[in-house]
A and B are shown apart, each in its own frame.
Chain A
């Protein structure tokens, strides 16, 4: 069964290696691609339930896809392993984890010796994403010895998942290129520097007495003693608490990107996205690119918080965006089968009677990111000379993270007594890159009395300029001279399509009014990144306007492709002349009429799981806080075990704080849970070396 593997993708290179690695799952022979994770291989084989929870038998499946939680645990040859970060071993015997794993009675006597290794370095950079890579390069060119560790097997961090063209500035952060390509570029730069020691598959797991940082370097626990520590660990996805949020099939947008864009598997056939920030909007688009239907995107605020160009992109394809709506519950036996959403009133509370439901197998949660700052916090608490950069410091775009890394690197250099300054323009650019989207001012008007011209639908102040850099005639400019301003056509257009190929928002089309001497029709070229087969030459397609509203129909004259088009295709349409300026996209899916569910069950707090690891419900937390009056998360840990599980409260911590707030207790009054190593669980084998026992 290969149906859940992505064989072809409009913008990603799919390796043509066959799934030839054999392994078994609960006795069933299955196959995987070489170096695939168990999670990817299982999903590719149609498995979405990886086990059942020890406490209540709740089905468990993929959740963070990032090695941080333990919902995807399976048992490989007697050892519990996280399916999302463990590569398939040829011949591996894998079992689903039903309840606590059994320790295999393998008692061959052995000699075990403590593995104690300490490594000194100038700077330890934790996290090989945009911030960490940029910082490591900046530090190493100045001669410092740098260890760069990352918990993944590839560098690039979340850049490796970003298949879209980047916003930002061409000069400073490779804007206009795809995120994964930028990741490879940064990686190559760092790997070329001899004094950066790159440790992949090496999570940092805690800070220890004396200031050492514990790193599990490819399965071996090592103490690194840096003169300075830089934490560039990125962000994690915020969770939402609603009934059914713990079902397999509810997971984060980033987790989805990992499975689809990195692992090239399809964990879903039909999904709904919760959250209209950039992540939510982008994953909806990427789902369609991967051949997964997106029934809707819901956003609790009256407007999507992400870039308007991202919103419009999915709306043009036919994905309805429900603003002022939230998810009420996910339902299904063993995994998600249906989702109910509703309109929200004051305080974002769902309005009874406004519920609508969709049949989906997956609900993607994209309601914001939180800094992964535990290591930073611990290092601070213990008085280490520590810095943070990128999302671990402040949530922003990856382009801003690159800058953040470089800026912090300069600060570290200065802190070590080396001459280094942060150029003021860096700070200015960094501020621009991390700017939130500005007001929607509308695009500049299209030129009159010109026969060939781009229609630039960039209507909102966002940090982006690639179109201004690629025009061979330098005809596109930002009048305000800042990265945030809107681009404007100020000169001649030769119809080269470069701005269409580069625009991250796919917000530019090309109108050519020269083809029909009668003036009744015009040629409109639309940039296109959807799977093959949806739009073919000679067929008629439904055209949509800038924001997704219907315009009319058009015949596809041809579909252009080529190296210069940045992996995009260009769909050339024959459009009635009066529609030419309005046609912005092509609808690929019919928006379905929302269904009113037959009966809507009231939400009970007893069915809302907050702590997924220990299966603690919202009602349990509320009851305990009300009964005891506690303001201490540690008391909840002790009494209910919230945060005592494998993830250590990374997911439920914020949800529990929200319950306190709902009960009228401000966050500042609540004592947060004490942190102890390890920031993620470590196999005991990492701490020792085994030798055969001489007496055995």
Chain B
């Protein structure tokens, strides 16, 4: 019995899988993308709020973020497809010494990696975020090259572009096994068929470790759930995505962030003080009151918003807060693009480009030493978290 044969199989049509498939197909590889859901981007991708930044504190994430920004920001001009890109920057306001100190401490690393970011005074913050409360405002950092995309349209755009370059998408198909031959991957078995390929990329997001386990690998990616919401559209007034790093006065949030997307909708999220491990995706009753109070207190004019929808998505977390990207240790042909820690959308294009480069040229497209920070072979039993998650 002959099985369909491809050059590479991508497991997961999501934030990482779609750009990866696109970059591989664009270079002429015969690519198969498998997803258990009925269409592209239906896992955690669509739960993203769409912020894209290179403003991280980890060098590898800075580099991947920069690549993602380049890909997103030029997408409309290179492909003619609107993905809702909005270059509004990221703004981190500081209302206390702790946050001010934390932000200032990050600036040297961020600048060394070439990020356009600087401290700005309270006046500038108030100009960038009309209506932001002035009481106690000390200033903030602003990175004008960061921005936002529509997660839905971006996923759709990568998928369409990959298909135009010959990639084949199979939906409603669950991966049941990885085909191996002497520590080398030879293909993928699903609940419907078997596909052969010398390269398999595990981009299965929150379910990525289940796939890796099929190759005998223990990849410590555990989902945590986070909630988000979106308003009805209002006339554009807010350019940057705003991240308030202060813990909330209500005692349950550690930071919160929001922005206005290209459709005029205000989209928002908070990070709970106590993480919610697991795959529960049912919205909590507490989310909206909690985030509403933070939004309105920071920008009082938001009290006239109308809330349209809330949802809960999964952050595939790693022990050290860094993604796990690169060749799987001990399994030839298997690559991992996992553990995006809730930043799959913003890191995905960069990750995809590097994974494609690894497949095609045997090396990443960013500095290999920096890329190695994400290596699946690193010591993943550490507990050290990145400061600017």
Contacts and interface: CB of A to CB of B under 8 A. Distances in A.
A498 B284 CA distance: 58
B73 interface: no
Contacts of B231: 684
Contacts of B133: 107, 109, 693
Given A113-B293, A677-B309, A681-B307, A105 B131 contact: yes
A106 interface: yes
B130 to A, nearest CB: 7
B308 A115 contact: no
A437 interface: no
Given A101-B235, A221-B289, A676 B304 contact: no
B308 A646 contact: yes
Interface string A98-109: 011111111111
A113 B232 CA distance: 22
A111 B296 CA distance: 8
Given A107-B133, A209-B282, A638-B46, A80 B232 contact: yes
A53 to B, nearest CB: 11
A684 B39 contact: no
A687 interface: yes
B302 interface: yes
A696 B292 CA distance: 20
Nearest to A206: B283
A219 B171 CA distance: 43
Contacts of B155: 638
B135 A208 contact: no
B379 interface: no
A246 interface: no
Interface in A646-677: 646, 648, 671, 676-677
A379 to B, nearest CB: 11
A114 B283 contact: no
Nearest to B312: A209
Given A107-B301, A109-B135, A648 B309 contact: yes
B370 interface: no
B205 to A, nearest CB: 16
B289 A687 contact: yes
Interface stretch (A121-129, A152-160, A324-332, A626-634): A626-634
A314 to B, nearest CB: 40
B300 A106 contact: yes
A269 B355 CA distance: 67
A684 B302 contact: yes
A634 B43 CA distance: 11
Interface in B98-123: none
B235 A103 contact: yes
Interface residues of B, number: 54
Q: Which of B38, B46, B250, B311 has the most CB of A within 10 A?
A: B38
A105 B309 contact: no
Contacts of A114: 250, 286, 289-290, 292-293
A646 B232 contact: yes
Contacts of B297: 110-112
B277 to A, nearest CB: 14
A688 B289 contact: yes
Contacts of B46: 634, 638
Contacts of B304: 78-80, 103-104, 106, 683-684
A100 B264 CA distance: 8
Contacts of B312: 209
Contact of A632 (B38, B153, B250, B290): B38
Q: Size class of A's contact patch? A: 35 or more
A695 interface: yes
Interface in B300-355: 300-312
B302 to A, nearest CB: 7
A671 B135 CA distance: 49
Q: Which of A646, A682, A693 has the most CB of B within 10 A?
A: A682
Contacts of B283: 206, 208-209, 676-677
A683 B301 CA distance: 13
B288 interface: yes
B180 interface: no
A102 B284 CA distance: 29
A601 interface: no
A324 to B, nearest CB: 39
B139 to A, nearest CB: 18
B38 A634 contact: yes
B301 A101 contact: no
A212 B310 contact: no
A67 interface: no
Nearest to B282: A209
Contacts of B8: none
B135 A693 contact: yes
A105 B132 CA distance: 10
A111 B248 CA distance: 12
A223 to B, nearest CB: 4
B135 A690 contact: no
A107 B299 contact: yes
Given A109-B133, A112-B293, A223-B285, A638 B306 contact: no
A227 interface: no
Contacts of A116: 285-286, 289-290
Contacts of A118: 285
A678 B250 CA distance: 23
A18 to B, nearest CB: 32
A596 interface: no
Contacts of B300: 106-110
Contacts of B203: none
Q: Which of A78, A79, A109, A112 has the most CB of B within 10 A?
A: A112
A116 B290 CA distance: 8
A598 interface: no
B152 interface: yes
A560 interface: no
B301 A105 contact: yes
A690 B152 CA distance: 35
A681 B296 CA distance: 17
A635 interface: yes
Nearest to B231: A684
Interface in A597-651: 630-632, 634-635, 637-639, 646, 648
B288 to A, nearest CB: 5
B309 A684 contact: no
A683 B306 contact: yes
B306 A682 contact: yes
A638 to B, nearest CB: 4
Q: Which of A103, A106, A209, A688 has the most CB of B within 10 A?
A: A103
A646 B231 CA distance: 9
A691 to B, nearest CB: 10
B310 to A, nearest CB: 5
Contacts of B38: 630-632, 634-635, 671
B232 A676 contact: no
Interface string A177-221: 000000000000000000000000000001111101010000001
B93 interface: no
B42 interface: yes
Contacts of A103: 131, 234-235, 237, 301-302, 304-305
A685 B302 CA distance: 9
A693 B300 CA distance: 11
Nearest to A108: B300
A382 B309 contact: no
Nearest to B233: A100
A224 B146 CA distance: 42
Which 3 residue pairs of A and B lie closest in terms of their CB atoms, listed nearest first? A114-B289, A687-B292, A638-B152
Given A106-B300, A107-B301, A112-B303, 7 more contacts: A103-B131, A106-B303, A107-B131, A635-B40, A638-B156, A677-B283, A685-B303
28 contacts: A103-B131, A103-B235, A103-B301, A104-B301, A107-B299, A108-B300, A109-B134, A112-B293, A113-B250, A114-B289, A209-B282, A212-B285, A223-B285, A630-B38, A630-B39, A638-B152, A639-B152, A646-B308, A676-B310, A677-B310, A681-B306, A681-B308, A684-B304, A684-B306, A684-B307, A687-B288, A687-B289, A688-B292
